[in-house]
Homo-oligomer: A and B are copies of this chain.
């Protein structure tokens, strides 16, 4: 966890998405896929809190070494303001924050599922997975065509890509879960990673649990601090022994949780099924053994 005044290297826009690349050597150095940063808002506004953004790219080596990219859509005053940021401006950034996606110990077939801007961290993840020899397939979904996040790059990264839009303007009409069973079968996926709207994560996680496939999902809950000290961002998570649950901090124990251990009904409402024990085939130890490094710190 570092705090840096970061110079904006570039601010770009494609469709509804904006992206900002920052000079942030200390943060980029430590960043792992699935982690996020907290960006400070300007003074004098009537809103105070930092805004959280997934790390879309962090370059540790090469020409872009020491840079960090976030991608976002404008939905409220904070993100509206971010759209006005320009190259050479300075942003106050804290990061990298949270538990990253755990990487499989040995190469395997990984299915990456992104909804809307939720796809942002998956490219960073996909690169790491491929570098370690895993096979990467992707499902990229969104409401409409212009909200599909970087479909071309998805193609470049993955063995196969399935795209869905709710209105059918690109790829299949429907939700990522409509194509999930087919993709999982075709790609012989052994692990699912997902990021996107919480409802989508739930559907993905529940399907994976049924299939006995481990899923790792990056959730979103309202965050005041992002650093583990305020306890606003919690998600109800079932204990490993399946015999109880606690509210865990999505900024600290998360944002990446095992999809099988999130108690979705408690969190998002809807039908109230009893607390589930982790499904058979759940291999958390294996999953967390590598790539997580010193996480959680201390």
| Residues in chain A within 8 A of chain B (CB atoms) | 44-47, 77
A214 shortest CB reach to chain B, Å: 44
- Between A and B, 7 residue pairs with Cβ closer than 8 Å are A44-B45, A44-B46, A44-B47, A44-B77, A45-B45, A45-B46, A46-B46
Distance between Cα atoms of A94 and B49 in the complex (Å):
33
Q: Within 8 Å CB of A47, what residues of B?
A: 44
Bound: A45/B45 CA distance, A: 4
Residues of B within 8 A of A46 (CB): 44-46
A44 contacts which chain B residues (CB < 8 A)? 45-47, 77
- Smallest distance from the beta carbon of A260 to chain B beta carbons, Å? 42
Instruction: Give the distance to chain B from A86, nearest Cβ to Cβ, in Å.
Output: 14
CA distance A77 to B45 in the complex (A): 11
Q: How far is the CA of A44 from the CA of B77 in the complex (A)?
A: 8
Residues of the B chain whose Cβ atoms lie less than 8 Å from the Cβ of A77:
44
A162 to chain B, nearest CB (A): 40
Q: What residues of B have a CB within 8 angstroms of the CB of A45 in the complex?
A: 44-46
Q: How far is the CA of A46 from the CA of B44 in the complex (A)?
A: 5
Taking each of A45, A46, A47, A77, which has the highest tally of chain B beta carbons within 10 Å of its own beta carbon?
A46
Which residue of chain B has the shortest Cβ distance to A81 in the bound complex? B44
How far apart are A175's CB and chain B's nearest CB, in angstroms? 35
Docked CA distance A45–B44 (Å): 6
